[in-house]
Amino acid sequence: AVALLVARGAPLDDTDKEGRTALTWAARQGHRDLAQLLLARGADANLALLDAASRGRANLVKFLLERGANAKAADRSGATALMKAASTGNAATVKLLLEKGADAGARDGQGRTAATMARDAGRKDVETLLRRAGGGLGIEN
């Protein structure tokens, strides 16, 4: 059914009230074939990456990065996938994003860095990892 809708030109990146797209939902539910179809038809992998990073889903982050998502992707507020992963304290996701080129020194619209967010989440290990990768604490120094 989804394949038919996509073939007939259904908008791929429309969002629900929580900002989730069809790709986000497909990826969250583990429907890799559907996610592949949506990506092949031009769905924005970065939107799903931001969601996966915010949920600490390293395997899903890896899947999306391998299919063209940008490790430096950011939302409208400037929060990057790395910041979202850091705020959950998921070290595996943070390491993966750093390996794929995420910027540990990036700041969101409020001047916060991923290290700031890890610190605020009480994850000293992730904060240390980010600081070693070049990420300071931002405006809260």
CATH number at residue 120: 1.25.40.20
Q: How many domains does the chain have?
A: 1
Nearest to 96 by CA among 107, 106, 84: 84
Mean pLDDT over all residues of the chain? 87
C-alpha dihedral (99, 110, 15, 47), degrees to nearest 10? -10
For 41, the domain range is 2-140
Which residues are CB-contacts of 37 (< 8 A; sequence separation ≥ 6)?
2, 3, 6
pLDDT of 116: 93
Name which residue leads in pLDDT, 14 or 95.
Answer: 95
Q: How confident is the model at residue 141 (pLDDT cuts 50, 70, 90)?
A: very low
CA–CA dist 35, 82 (Å, integer): 22
Model pTM greater than 0.95? no
Q: How confident is the model at residue 3 (pLDDT cuts 50, 70, 90)?
A: low
